Structure 1
Amino acid sequence: MFKPEPFVTRLAFVASERPEAQEARERLAARYGDVDEDRAQVVVALGGDGFMLETLHRHIEAPKPIYGMNRGSVGFLMNEYSEDDLLERINAAERAAIHPLSMVAVDTRRGQHRALAINEVSLLRQTRQTAKLRISIDGRVRLNELFCDGALVATPAGSTAYNLSAHGPIIPLDAKVLALTPISAFRPRRWRGALLPHTARVTFEILEADKRPVSAVADNFEVRDVLEVHVAEDRDITLTMLFDAGRSLEERVLAEQFSV
């Protein structure tokens, strides 16, 4: 795991393609200096939540703390943008350690596709036909048939993203559980999903795959025409995000549950 030095001074600035993000990067680099990402103690990501996920994925092989500032449209994972006292803010920041999901998807040609997801792994119908899924947990069938638009497994960090839009539960970061959430379930209508221990291994089998094709998406990596998908938390990988003092990710997740 990456071990921070006593005081952070070496920053690498990265930005999305949005003009305001690129302009911010130029100003901040001129003010605080800018080193290569491999030499940086902290990477500062300028953009929205999507760019934060891209940055985390890019550093997944050699994780470093990522401090995001919002220069995009959605900024739940980002700090407020300010050019002042940046080093002081980063050195006083609170850390959120997260573990990604590992997805193994088998397509109709029996090809295997592997990917990691920081937010969620989603299964989505590809046509007008509803998806028909069988769901097993740790090798035991728990739901024999689910007719739906899809289903997803979300991490605590991703529980406020697509999972929340699908009416899934918001999960505190230290809860050690995953959310299994249906997307527009048609039958059984009353099934609203489940909370699973973070050690659970989830298997989706796509029934009638030729008639009801399904794609699998791990964050922004998509596999089409899948037959089965296996999802589990990867505890060997730890990613670190930095948040301003008093505005930790834990606090944001808690506050989101009381938003109206």
Structure 2
Amino acid sequence: MRLAFAASDRPEAQEARERLIARYGCHPAAEADVVVALGGDGFMLEVLHAHLRSTCSIYGMNRGSVGFLMNDYAEEGLLERIATSEKAITHPLSMEAVDATGAVHQAVAINEVSLLRQTHQTAKLRVSIDNKVRMEELVCDGVMVATPAGSTAYNLSAHGPIIPIAAQVLALTPISAFRPRRWRGALLSHTARVMIEVLEPEKRPVSAVADNYEVRRVRRVEIAETRHIDLVMLFDAGRSLEERVLAEQFQS
């Protein structure tokens, strides 16, 4: 098994990488079967983005703060752990955003695409699903479309639903909805194409964020799942991502 090791800039991650390379060797990422990511969830997203079009799998070990997407760190028996690990295959979102100048920006999101107000003024948004307007005016701090993998991240903090990894749905979740005040969002088919238009963009500017890629003063954003990209994460036997997502729903 050919391993590559990637580490965040945290000292404990860098030190772990050196120890693991000394023990297991290291191949270039382009030649590796598995990339071992050492850090937290944010670094795992960085590694996944770096290998969007790669055939290698990603096995994370926690050397950061938040480690929902990471396995426990241990140097012993790494090859055996990887060999018996369970796969989680996810598909990212594509974002196409048109800004105030008419420029088109494209990006990919593994967790979510978010639209966020840029000033003290609430955002006013029109939401369409598959070319049909479903909400003429949503007044809010923002709104997001989240994948199952991202449903336990920002989406959950915004009181969105937790989605099982195998479920073929996306979460459309408002952020501090003011009108309609009681709207809590929707679950959409994974084939849905979401278009969000910004109303009163000069008075109420809005930014669009695909994971960590931001576009300011957007006018229109289109979001869809990218089924032809498979992202493969590996989790220790008995601690699959599906199990973690399920357990998260029973947290008190």
Question: 1:76-96: CA deviations, max 9, x gaps?
Answer: 000000111000000000000
For 1:59 and 1:196, locate their aligned partners in 2 and report how far apart those are by CA, in whole Å: 27
Tell whether 2:123 aligns with 1:131.
Answer: yes
The 5 A counterparts of 1:201-216 are: 201-216=193-208
Q: Which residue of 2 aligns with 1:162?
A: 154
Following TM superposition, where does structure 1 have runs of at least 4 consecutive aligned residues deviating by more than 3 angstroms? none
CA offset at residue 61 of structure 1?
2.0
For 2:33 and 2:94, locate their aligned partners in 1 and report how far apart those are by CA, in whole Å: 27
For 2:56 and 2:140, locate their aligned partners in 1 and report how far apart those are by CA, in whole Å: 38
Tell whether 2:46 aligns with 1:60.
Answer: no
For 1:89 and 1:240, locate their aligned partners in 2 and report how far apart those are by CA, in whole Å: 16
C-alpha distance 217-63 of structure 1, shift in aligned 2 (>3 A): farther
CA offset at residue 233 of structure 1?
0.2
Extract unaligned runs of 5+ from structure 1.
Answer: 1-8
Q: Which residue of 2 aligns with 1:24?
A: 16
The 5 A counterparts of 1:94-105 are: 94-105=86-97
Q: Which of 83, 103, 110 is matched with 2:102 structurally? A: 110
Tell whether 2:140 aligns with 1:148.
Answer: yes
The 5 A counterparts of 1:23-42 are: 23-42=15-34
For 2:203 and 2:228, locate their aligned partners in 1 and report how far apart those are by CA, in whole Å: 38
For 1:38 and 1:61, locate their aligned partners in 2 and report how far apart those are by CA, in whole Å: 11
Q: Which residue of 1 aligns with 2:84?
A: 92
SS at match of 1:60: coil
Q: Which residue of 2 aligns with 1:238?
A: 230
Tell me the TM-score normalised to structure 1 length.
0.96
Q: What is the one-letter code of the residue matched to 1:119?
A: N
For 1:237 and 1:205, locate their aligned partners in 2 and report how far apart those are by CA, in whole Å: 26
For 2:235 and 2:36, locate their aligned partners in 1 and report how far apart those are by CA, in whole Å: 11
The 5 A counterparts of 1:215-230 are: 215-230=207-222
SS at match of 2:44: helix
User: In the comparison of the two structures, how many residue pairs are matched?
Assistant: 252
C-alpha RMSD of matched pairs (Å): 0.5
SS at match of 2:29: coil
For 2:122 and 2:179, locate their aligned partners in 1 and report how far apart those are by CA, in whole Å: 10
Extract unaligned runs of 5+ from structure 2.
Answer: none
SS at match of 2:202: coil
SS at match of 2:134: strand
Q: Which of 64, 67, 71 is matched with 1:75 structurally? A: 67
Q: Which residue of 2 aligns with 1:3?
A: none
Tell me the TM-score normalised to structure 2 length.
0.99
The 5 A counterparts of 1:171-190 are: 171-190=163-182
Q: What is the one-letter code of the residue matched to 2:30?
A: D
Identical amino acids, percent of aligned pairs: 73
Q: Which residue of 2 aligns with 1:49?
A: 41
SS at match of 1:96: strand
Q: What is the one-letter code of the residue matched to 2:11?
A: P
Question: 1:83-111: CA deviations, max 9, x gaps?
Answer: 11000000000000000000000001000
Q: What is the one-letter code of the residue matched to 2:35?
A: V
For 1:74 and 1:127, locate their aligned partners in 2 and report how far apart those are by CA, in whole Å: 29
CA offset at residue 63 of structure 1?
3.5
